[in-house]
Amino acid sequence: MSEHIQWEPLREAAAEAMRYAYAPYSKFPVGAAALVDDGRVVTGCNVENASYGVGLCAECGLVSELQRTGGGRLVAFTCVDGHGELLMPCGRCRQLLYEFGGDDLLVETVDGPKTMTEILPYAFGPQDLSRSS
Ligand SMILES: O=c1ccn([C@H]2C[C@H](O)[C@@H](CO)O2)c(=O)[nH]1
Ligand SMILES: [Zn+2]
């Protein structure tokens, strides 16, 4: 499946989600979209707050939608800004995405798709908690 990712429609879904962003403070709207292993596409936009640090990245909304609409594994992820430029997920969001996509999640970058392992090496995840002793 991952060899046949259609990145263009995924980017368009991210750009569409970005239109709902609430970013009055940074004036930096962001949209994110991901393909789920059952074929559906989930999206999110950033939602800021007058208490700046409380703001939510687009990826937060995306994983919330993933869970709300039935869960599943993330297969491919992309994120765009207001100029349609690709954005890399911030460190916190790499962790957030790792939980639901694992090492093999493909993340679109300016250098083409990269695996989560490449952009978040030596990740901490559920496997660390389930190890016995
Ligand atoms: O991958 C990213 C990077 C940044 N932002 C948001 C957070 C903040 O609202 C704005 C500026 O950092 O962009 C995201 O939503 N996702
Ligand atoms: Zn983030």
CATH architecture under which domain 7-130 falls? 3-Layer(aba) Sandwich (3.40)
Tokens 């694992």 belong to residue: 102
Binding residue per annotation — 93? yes
**Of the residues 3, 8, 12, 59, which is catalytic?**
59
Residue 133 CA to ligand 1 center (angstroms) comes to: 39
pLDDT at 11: 98
pLDDT at 131: 72
12 is catalytic: no
Tokens 């800004």 belong to residue: 81
Q: Is 21 in the pocket of ligand 1 (CB under 6 A)?
A: no
pLDDT at 112: 97
Complete DSSP assignment for 53-102: GG-B-HHHHHHHHHHHTT---EEEEEEEETTS-B-PPPHHHHHHHHHHH-
Residue from 97, 105, 103, 100 nearest 121 by CA: 103
- pLDDT tens for each residue of the chain, 133 residues long: 445 999 999 999 999 999 999 999 999 999 999 999 999 999 999 999 999 999 999 999 999 999 999 999 999 999 999 999 999 999 999 999 999 999 999 999 999 999 999 999 999 999 999 876 5
Give CA–CA dist 83/58, Å, rounded.
16
Q: Is 55 in the pocket of ligand 1 (CB under 6 A)?
A: yes
Out of 43, 90, 109, mutate this one to test ligand 1's pocket (max ligand atoms within 8 Å of CB): namely 90
Binding residue per annotation — 51? yes
Residue from 8, 71, 16, 72 nearest 45 by CA: 16
pLDDT at 3: 59
